[in-house]
Amino acid sequence: MKKNKTLWLPDRSKYPEHDSNGKPIVDLQSQKHTKLWQGPNHPGVTGNMSLELTLSGDEIVDAKTHVGYLHRGFEKLMERRTYMQCFPLSIRMCVPEADSNEYVLSTCVEELAGIEIPEAAKWLRTLALEMARLQVLLRVVPGIGATLSLGLGSQWGMYMREQILDRFEELTGGRIYHMYMLPGGVRGHLPDGFKKRMEQNLKDIEQFVANIEDLIFTNSVFKKRTVGRGIIKPEWVSQYGIVGPNARGAGFKRDVRKDYPYLKYSELNFDPYVGKDSDIYTRAQVRKHDLLMTVDLIRQILDKVPTSGDLRAKTPNVLHWEIPKGETYVRSESSRGEYGMYMVSDGSKYPRRVNLRGPSYTHAVALLEKMLINANISDVHAIMVSLQTCPPEIER
């Protein structure tokens, strides 16, 4: 017998009515709805944020995001610190990819102060940014599978990431927070044998991606749970400021490295992957292709990076450095998309205002609230992780 399609649609009469402010009127006594808080420290939720979910059975009828569990007021603290003292704060604005913060802050200062960095520093900055992207994606790509109980890939990914952190330690002295890019340039050249060791890591990563393909992307359970779920409609891209892999998954070819080439990206050959189905599976695929593209980019960079030459432009004594009056906005492409910093200088040695525009700000607050409506409670983690949200960017 042919199934009556309408039987499978939810009964909308069970949904809460909304008041004049658009707020759902939920009567918990009626037994029709359940209020469920997920987080702020739920293992499936990325970082310290909480979701207030209203359920009808196991279907979400209303969702609200609650952030603020790790607010540290970095933007405010920066107003009381010299430009150089801002660096230890800025790198913590988004922990997994600290280098993007170093880059945008350094570039804002350099632009306002009229400093041009040496050629070698541009190459090394490009390398550091791609290495940062690589170590994030090594965790994120299998991480989407981990939210659906395919944890093994995530463990492989953590191991591979450690190898890249070893290279970071060689290059910068730090594993997570590198403080490698500073106004004027970078802190050091490539160590001896770095290229050889990195090449071995890249080969291992290619094998890792092949294994992930077998483990996750061809897995029927993973496909059933991700294909056609968590869809971002194309019209939402502009409405919610969707950028990076989430926009590319929806068919929009948006990549700051291509659209607004900075550092040495215009001298590199790459073509970001664009998906079309805009579901969780497509976003996972986009990130997998990004991972392979990053491997290729690092090879290209290592072929071209100068092994000698100036690394720093001359800057004034940083303790007494006053930046000329002005304002600027600098963007870069982080693993999550457009990552920008707006800086205003009043001519003193402290920034007047620093504002970070992280991609998670729009993805994890307004967009997530929209996407969770009508989703099943069991899909929340996969939807959230597929957006690759990073709560510290929201509460910077």
Which spans of this chain sit near other proteins (rule: CB under 8 A)?
Answer: 21-22, 67-68, 71, 73, 75-77, 79-80, 111, 236, 238-241, 254, 259-260, 326-329, 331, 338, 340, 342, 344, 352-353, 355, 357, 361-362, 365-367, 370, 394-395
Neighbouring CB atoms inside 10 A of 194's CB total 17
Q: At CA 149, angle to CA 144 and CA 152, rounded to 5?
A: 80
- Lookup: tokens for 60: 């979400």
Shortest distance (Å) from residue 326 CB to other proteins: 7
Strand ordering across the sheet containing 59-66:
34-38, 50-56, 59-66
Shortest distance (Å) from residue 350 CB to other proteins: 11
Residues in the chain, how many? 396
Shortest distance (Å) from residue 344 CB to other proteins: 5
Shortest distance (Å) from residue 214 CB to other proteins: 37
Our CB check for other proteins shows the closer of 95 and 215 to be 95
Our CB check for other proteins shows the closer of 61 and 164 to be 61
Our CB check for other proteins shows the closer of 315 and 328 to be 328
Distances 377 to 16, 49, 63, 248 between C-alpha atoms, Å: 17, 17, 11, 26
Our CB check for other proteins shows the closer of 268 and 366 to be 366
Our CB check for other proteins shows the closer of 149 and 239 to be 239
Our CB check for other proteins shows the closer of 202 and 354 to be 354
Shortest distance (Å) from residue 22 CB to other proteins: 7
Our CB check for other proteins shows the closer of 73 and 88 to be 73
Strands 326-334 and 337-345: antiparallel
Shortest distance (Å) from residue 371 CB to other proteins: 12
List Cβ<8 Å contacts ≥24 apart for 254-262: 254/337, 254/338, 255/333, 256/331, 256/332, 256/333, 256/337, 256/338, 257/333, 260/331, 262/107, 262/332
Strand (E) or helix (H) holding 332: strand 326-334
Shortest distance (Å) from residue 201 CB to other proteins: 34
| Strand, coil or helix: 339 | strand
237 touches 248 (CB < 8 A): no
